[in-house]
Amino acid sequence: MSDDPFMIQACSIESLGDQALLVRFGDEPTRECFDRIHAYDQAVHRLSIPGVIESVPAYTSLAVYYEPLVIDKFALRQALLEIKLSDAALRVADSGRELIVPVCYDQEFGEDLAYVAEVHHLTTEEVVAIHTAARYFVHMIGFLPGFPYLGGLSTRIATPRKKSPRTRVVAGSVGIAGTQTGVYPIDSPGGWQIIGRSPWKFFDSSAATPCRIRAGDTVKFNAITRNEFRIIEKELMVCNGA
């Protein structure tokens, strides 16, 4: 044993189909959990195990995708179990930025805002006030290109997903699903309760950094009027040369 390494080991490793393993780090998406997952993810990258295709960090877990014709599941599992992280490795580079994201919560954009308000016996204004008051930590990017999963939603407006997903949610839509909130970066089907829309472009595959928001960032929403929405939208279109 070297000088007191903080032994961080996965809580459990299970299969995610026949081409991925899922390493679980706990049940709660805490900041500590985030740091452990990302430190572990970096360790997986450093190992560059032949047959490992990629790894995807999530709230409380990390998926490691592999090619079973190259690496045996048991060998991979063993390699993952042997990863131990020191205290230093746990101090993930503090690169998180603070972003203020403009959102218009008008009925026109927030199709489910009234529903969310009704469920919680609140006015729509109260839901907006609660949603804009918090600072949200970006736990992960996933689901769609550039989609940020934000933690820190008030339980006062936490609302289950829609029973049947919508076939189309417009890019920029801000939604709630359970205790999660997030922004749809592109048009997509989706099951989140939509409460507003941002004029920002959150994903651009031609940009040097396609994702506007990164895991580790902190996001705050700022309520804007429909008029302000149109102005920002127009400015962005000019910037993109459209």
Partner 1 sequence: MGPEITTLETTTVEIIRPGMMTTIQDRGRLGYRSDGVVVAGAMDEWSLRIANLLVGNLFSQQGNPAALEFFLVGPTIDFHQDTSFAIYGGCWNATLDSQRIQCGKAYSAGPGQRLEILEATEGAWGYLAIHGGIDVPEILGSRSTHIRSAMGGFHGRALKAGDRIAAVMNGSMLIPNANFLRRYIPWNDSVYGGSQRSSPTSTIRFVNGSQWEMLDARSQEFFTSSKWIISKNSDRMGYRLQSPIDSSTPQASNSPRLQLKSPFEMLSEPNTIGTIQLPSGGDPIILMSDAATTGGYPRLGHVAHVDLPRLAQQRPGTAIGLQAISLAQAHQLSIERQRLWQRLVFGVRQYLSNDARVASSKNL
The residue from 5, 11, 47, 54 that contacts partner 1 (CB under 8 A) is 54
Q: Tokens at residue 15, please?
A: 């299969």
Is residue 191 part of the contact set for partner 1 (CB under 8 A)? yes
Paired sense of beta strands 188-190 and 61-66, if any: unpaired
Query: Residue 178, by phi and psi: left (phi above 0), alpha (psi -120 to 50) or beta?
Result: left
Regarding 146 and contact with partner 1 (CB under 8 A), the answer is yes
Using rule CB under 8 A, residue 140 touches partner 1: yes
First-to-last alpha carbon distance for the chain, in angstroms, is 60
Cβ pair 178, 98 in contact under 8 A: no
- Residues 83-102, interacting with partner 1 (CB under 8 A): none
Residues 9-48: x/- map of binding to partner 1 (CB under 8 A)?
-----xxxxxxx-x------x-----------x-------
Task: State the residue for tokens 């070297």.
Answer: 2
Indicate which single residue of 56, 83, 90, 130 sits in contact with partner 1 (rule: CB under 8 A).
Answer: 56
- For the chain, the maximum distance between any two Cα atoms, rounded to a whole number of angstroms, is 63
Site for partner 1, rule CB under 8 A? 14-20, 22, 29, 41, 53-63, 65, 68-69, 73, 140-147, 149, 160-161, 163-165, 167, 177-178, 180, 185-189, 191, 203, 205, 210-211
